[in-house]
Amino acid sequence: MALHESLDPIYDQVVARNPGEVEFHQAVREVLESVGVVMGKHPEYAQAKIIERICEPERQVIFRVPWQDDQGQVQINRGFRVEFNSALGPYKGGLRFHPSVYQGIIKFLGFEQVFKNALTGLPIGGGKGGADFDPKGRSDQEIMAFCQSFMTELHRHLGEYTDVPAGDIGVGGREIGYLFGQYKRLTNRYESGVLTGKSGVFGGSHIRTEATGYGNTFFVKEMLSARGQSFDGKRTVVSGSGNVAIYTMQKVQELGGHVVACSDSEGYVLDENGVDVDLVKQIKEQERGKLAEYAERRRAAKYVPNRQVWEIPCEVALPSATQNEITGKEADTLVQNGCLAVGEGANMPTTPEGVRVFREAGVAFGPGKAANAGGVATSALEMQQNASRDSWSREFTEQRLEEIMISVHDRCYATAEEYGMPGDYTAGANIAGFTRVADAMLALGLI
């Protein structure tokens, strides 16, 4: 989609000021393609240079993370925290530990987080962080050593009213525990609201682990309902086999969907009888093994190496692994095979060309900043519990999550209708998130 002529120079400036950060460029362009129509209705946004300001992080921190491995060798990694926008509340967004992490990845994720958090309707700003550390194959002692060194630098930038990280790829309950322990040690304060995704034994939310997958499923349920359909009997394919994918599959099955496949970085499993989610959890979460082992233990299933799960015919596709995993080619295949709905459990897993293919084919497409907002929404609920020194039941927390995801869907749907793009959830999400942040920035003045 072409940019509005008034936005072309802004986008060119973003690219020039952030060379080589292709994921960030992609995220910015995707938002700018939607908000051109907003600028005509709101000349005050242009006057206050809201777009230029919203594309520039409020603060970026890059730091060295030295630690010692089990062989006594000193290792050096690079840590990042991008505090993107705090107009609506403290910076909120996860930490990613993965070798692919660099400044452009963190900025793209932080930029997306600003609008995702705004869509929840909760008082949270947007940020993101992480490190180019690979936790795969590392012992618990090595993970703890890295987390403690990482937090030793990061802690000075955090606070429950300033910046509240959570988990992301490579950062689960174990890592959050080590990070919080070091924060507590360094500050001599039990600020349980300074990190979310904590264990339930020290202030965590009952369904934070499940929240992103559950939330994505709730959002797709609403998209299907808007078309007079449901998950009941729908053949569903999920990419990934980590936290988001596992709990996406679990909730889809609870809602009557038939999940036949999931994947990892080396291939995919096809199980026509329905994926055994408990077995995937055992292999990936408890044994930290490879998905290929699933087919060895379940005779009816087969493991297909070095192929993508999107070649399997399905009615619902739920990308839950990483960015840019569905290109135009994969989107074409999904459409030709009868796909009706796509919900992005991961952050920006569909390329712009893939989004175009889905839009033109009339596929119900839930963009990540809306569909996977359940994780951060539940993090904000965890912050509420911590601030009130309270503990909520699992049932109450899941009910609140579903209510929030329904409101996110309805906000995107109504905004798309208002701006003459009915059914375009991408435009609806971008515009609704952008206008909420923009209005708050105007109210706060030039800061």
DSSP tag of 325 = -
Phi, then psi, of 259 in degrees rounded to 5: -85, 120
Rounded Cα distance between 302 and 299, Å, is: 8
Alpha-carbon distance values, 263 to 249, 305, 319 (Å): 12, 9, 10
DSSP H helical segments within 337-393, as ranges? 352-361, 368-371, 374-387
Backbone CA torsion sign across 166, 170, 172, 177:
negative
Rounded Cα distance between 73 and 238, Å, is: 39
Rounded Cα distance between 431 and 411, Å, is: 10
Residue 329 annotated as lining a ligand binding site: no
Spot the catalytic one: 107, 128, 184, 251: 128
Can 128 be counted among the known catalytic residues? yes
Name the helix (H) or strand (E) containing 261. strand 258-264
Residue 379 annotated as lining a ligand binding site: yes
Residue 229 annotated as lining a ligand binding site: no
Under 8 Å between Cβ of 119 and 373:
yes
Closest CA to 300 of 274, 266, 265, 262: 274
Phi, then psi, of 194 in degrees rounded to 5: -85, -15
DSSP H helical segments within 155-299, as ranges? 173-187, 208-226, 243-254, 277-281, 292-297
Residue 167 annotated as lining a ligand binding site: yes
Rounded Cα distance between 164 and 124, Å, is: 9
- Coil, strand, or helix at residue 253? helix
Count Cβ atoms below 10 Å from residue 326 Cβ, excluding itself: 26
DSSP tag of 286 = I
Residue 116 annotated as lining a ligand binding site: yes
Residue 60 annotated as lining a ligand binding site: no
Q: Which two tokens stand for residue 187?
A: 């500050």
Closest CA to 133 of 113, 117, 116, 154: 154
b vs e for 133-158, b when ≥16 Cβ sit within 10 Å of the residue's Cβ? bebeebeeebbbbbbbbbbbebbebb
CA torsion angle 40 428 364 305 (round to 10): 110
Q: Which two tokens stand for residue 445?
A: 């003045």
Rounded Cα distance between 218 and 58, Å, is: 33
> CA-based angle 372:374:375, to the nearest 5?
90
Alpha-carbon distance values, 299 to 7, 272, 304, 382 (Å): 55, 11, 14, 41
Residue 250 annotated as lining a ligand binding site: no
Q: Give the residue numbers of the binding site for substrate.
A: 92, 113, 116, 167, 379
Catalytic site positions: 128
Q: Give the residue numbers of the binding site.
A: 92, 113, 116, 167, 212, 243, 379
Q: Give the residue numbers of the binding site for NAD(+).
A: 212, 243
